Amino acid sequence: MAKKSSKKEATDNSAEVSGKRIKSFIEKIERLESEKAAVAEDIKDVYGEVKATGFEPKIIKEIIKIRKQSKEKRAEEQELLDLYMSAIGMDE
């Protein structure tokens, strides 16, 4: 079969294009997910070092949690302030 009908060809092409885009998205996400997994692995390793050095990972984890909360709390307070400002028309 040397030549497909133009209609058929068009369909094939768009399907093929869609397929390629999907494939590309999937591969991109998979790449990112393996990056993420690698970083998670690194974190685990550091906790391993922590333990090996004689510190309690639990405590380190707790400290990190609190530090994170502090940051989040500050961010929330800023957001509240922004809301107030915008509520009284002072946001621009």
Partner DNA sequence: TGCATATTACACACCC
Partner DNA sequence: GGGTGTGTAATATGCA
Is residue 53 near a copy of itself by the rule CB under 8 A? yes
**Residue for token digits 């307070």?**
77
Token code pair at residue 22: 């999907």
Is residue 70 near a copy of itself by the rule CB under 8 A? yes
Is residue 15 near a copy of itself by the rule CB under 8 A? no
Binding mask 6-45 for DNA (x = CB under 7 A): ------------------------------x---x---x-
Among 51, 71, 73, 74, binds DNA (CB under 7 A): 51
Distance, CA of 25 to CA of 57 (rounded, Å): 37
Distance, CA of 55 to CA of 47 (rounded, Å): 9
Helices (H), 53-91: 57-87
Is residue 61 near DNA by the rule CB under 7 A? yes
